[in-house]
Amino acid sequence: MVVFGIRLFYLQVIRHDYYKKTALSGQLKEYEIRADRGVIEAHDGDQVVPIVLNEQRYTLFADPKYIKKTNEVATLIQQIIGGSQSEIEDKLKLDTRYSVIAKRLSKDQKEALDKLDLVGVGTREDPIRTYPQGDLAAQLLGFVDNEGVGKYGLEQALNKQLQGKPGQLKAITDARGVPLVANTDNIVTKPKAGDRVLLTIDVSMQRQLQDILKTGLDNAKSKSGSAIIMDPYSGAIKAMANYPTYDPAEFYNVEDSEVFNNASVSAPLEVGSIMKPLTAAAALDLGVVTPSASYYDPSYYKIGDATITNIEEDGGAGTRSVADILEMSLNTGATWLLMQMGGGEINQKAREAWHDYMVNHYQFGKATGIEQGYEAEGSIPDPNDGFGLNIQYANTSFGQGMTATPLQMGAALSSIINGGTYYKPYLVDKTTNADNQTDSHKAEVVKSNVVSKQVSDQMQKLMEGVINANYSIYGFSERPTTYLVGGKTGTAEIAKPGGGYYEDKFNGTFMGFVGGNQPEYVIVARVNEPDINGYAGSRAAAPIFADLTKMLINNFNISMRN
């Protein structure tokens, strides 16, 4: 500090005229001043609360050329910042003119170091993100690295908006390129702070979702999972969580970078039988079946060299209804629905019709565009290219051989129970820039008439029937007839990297809705590889759905049905 101070005095006062005259010959340089990063807020009932703030911290650096007694200096520094005295000393001996000794120092530590007045040692401001709500929505938010760049989640997706516009410092420098910050010839453009961002999530709902998800995963002896709550009539995400999670304030302590990913949007999976309502909705919308239709189910279908069967409790061959397909989760029933799209068999017409609904109606195979880093698209097989297309498409009718994220499933379900509109899922409710100009989000329609209003009403009733037929298995003590509750389980085989499926590994999924006279919330739950007796969908994922449904009814003013 003393050396720098003396040199600055010399350059600014004694040699000021010289540097003023030679500025145009290479002494005038341009520096960037980092802007304050935008604050992130969320709803908490009727209030708005901050969930990501900025806090000033400091980086300690040294110019080893000026450090003569490295052991003494290292000891003095270690007494203030802690850590290893020997490691500090090693950094003071580096063959460089700029050695970073420590980062993220507090103001108290910075002031204590300033009082030491150590020659060749200095500090610079280095703001960090702080999280008043702890690990709340960690993967959804992401974090900011040591270079001030947003990583993962919202911080990555909105990095440009959040980081603001940096200022500029044009300064005469000394021979080492150090800016003479006190010089009156400096030209400063003030930085412009990043946008203040208000999210759609509710803090209380988010916290309860995280707790319920964690409890459900523990009960299912599963190491990981995800859950989403969203508004089916706008696409707004009300809560979204993954486990395991992390503390974004200490992201640098995370050993497995997979924990950073928001699996709800970045980890597609073969979704299993939660696909069946979408298959049924497509068949109903095409007019090839009606809700009251019945058919003879042989309990298996032979397609090429493959055989499609059901779970052992399906009751065997017999007459089944469209409602039975969902309530009994019949793979053969979903296959039969696909066959009706082809006039009674799986053919090119059936494949193309089902592909059209999956891709152009339900928007599978493409990113939703939600404000998140690393969103995955999922995959849908081409209807006219590849070996074994008929069996491949039969598999997709019950959620195998295709992949989608939990978010994509939630958005697709919303479109078949909200009257037939696919809304783009979103997390940002409002942004306010440094000039106090506000941009409020408006619900964005991606596709109208996904299915007809009539089919949408029919799907509500069919999915409500699934809950009423299986409520005790799913975690309800009684049929939730006072409220509108519908849903569907899924138990999906896990694909092997080299092809085929594991015989003893499954993912459990559940998607459904809850409301009064109409659906108010859509819920999707995913449980990875639970270690339980029974089916992963009904025994692992369904109880999470049931607990989330009860939480929403008890705490978030869902009105009873008329």
pLDDT above 50: residue 9:
no
pLDDT for 124: 81
CATH number for position 370: 3.40.710.10
* Gap between the Cα atoms of 450 and 414, Å rounded: 10
Q: Do both 320 and 455 map to the same domain?
A: yes
Q: Do both 62 and 160 map to the same domain?
A: yes
Query: Which DSSP state fits 62?
Result: E
Lowest mean pLDDT among 162-166, 312-316, 431-435: 312-316
pLDDT for 264: 98
Lowest mean pLDDT among 284-293, 325-334, 393-402, 488-497: 488-497
Q: Do both 138 and 215 map to the same domain?
A: no
| Average pLDDT value for residue range 491-503 | 87
pLDDT, tens only, 465-478: 999 999 999 999 99
pLDDT for 335: 98
Q: Do both 216 and 238 map to the same domain?
A: yes
pLDDT for 50: 98
| Average model confidence (pLDDT) across the chain | 90
pLDDT for 173: 58
pLDDT above 80: residue 32:
no
If pLDDT is split at 50, 70 and 90, which confidence band does 10 have?
A: very low
Q: Is residue 17 a part of any domain in this protein? A: no
CATH number for position 48: 3.90.1310.10
Q: Is residue 421 a part of any domain in this protein? A: yes
pLDDT above 60: residue 15:
no
Q: Is residue 402 a part of any domain in this protein? A: yes
- The neighbouring-strand residues paired with 17 are none
Residue that is written with structure tokens 């950073």 in the block: 260
Q: Is residue 12 a part of any domain in this protein? A: no
Q: Is residue 144 a part of any domain in this protein? A: yes
For the CA atoms of 397, 400, 404, 408, the dihedral, rounded to the nearest 10 degrees, stands at 30
| Average pLDDT value for residue range 431-451 | 97
Q: Would you state the structure tokens that stand for residue 513, as one six-digit string?
A: 């809705």
How far, CA to CA in Å, does 90 sit from each of 70, 76, 84, 146, 283? 9, 14, 10, 22, 71
DSSP string, 268-328: -B--GGGGHHHHHHHHHHHTS--TT-EEEE-SEEEETTEEEE--GGG-SSEEEEHHHHHHT
| Average pLDDT value for residue range 255-270 | 97
Q: For the chain, what is the total number of helices (H) and then of strands (E)?
A: 19, 25
- Nearest Cα to 382, choosing from 398, 362, 361, 396? 396
pLDDT above 50: residue 14:
no
pLDDT for 331: 96
Mode of pairing for the β-strands spanning 428-432 and 150-151: unpaired
Q: Do both 160 and 220 map to the same domain?
A: no
Q: Do both 409 and 538 map to the same domain?
A: yes
Q: Do both 279 and 339 map to the same domain?
A: yes
pLDDT, tens only, 75-100: 999 999 999 999 999 999 998 888 89
If pLDDT is split at 50, 70 and 90, which confidence band does 5 have?
A: very low
By CB neighbour count within 10 A (0-12 exposed, 13-18 middle, 19+ buried), where does 307 fall?
Answer: exposed
* Contacts of 211-218 spanning 24+ positions with Cβ under 8 A: 212/544, 212/547, 212/548, 212/551, 213/241, 213/242, 213/243, 213/525, 213/544, 214/243, 215/547, 216/525, 216/527, 216/540, 216/541, 216/543, 216/544, 216/547, 217/243, 217/527, 217/530
pLDDT for 201: 98
Q: Do both 210 and 118 map to the same domain?
A: no
pLDDT above 50: residue 24:
no
Q: Do both 97 and 217 map to the same domain?
A: no
Lowest mean pLDDT among 255-264, 270-279, 384-393: 384-393
pLDDT-above-70 percentage for the chain: 91
Q: Do both 474 and 537 map to the same domain?
A: yes
Domain assignment of residue 547, given as a range = 200-251+259-430+443-555
| Average pLDDT value for residue range 223-252 | 97
pLDDT for 368: 99
User: Structural domain tally of the chain?
Assistant: 2
Q: Is residue 541 a part of any domain in this protein? A: yes
Q: Is residue 18 a part of any domain in this protein? A: no
pLDDT for 42: 99
Q: Which residue has the higher pLDDT, 10 or 261?
A: 261
- Nearest Cα to 194, choosing from 166, 169, 168? 166
pLDDT for 240: 99
Q: Is residue 324 a part of any domain in this protein? A: yes
Q: Do both 142 and 214 map to the same domain?
A: no
If pLDDT is split at 50, 70 and 90, which confidence band does 116 have?
A: very high
pLDDT for 436: 96
Q: Do both 121 and 218 map to the same domain?
A: no
pLDDT above 80: residue 399:
yes
| Three-state secondary-structure class, residue 240 | strand
Lowest mean pLDDT among 189-193, 273-277, 423-427, 483-487: 189-193
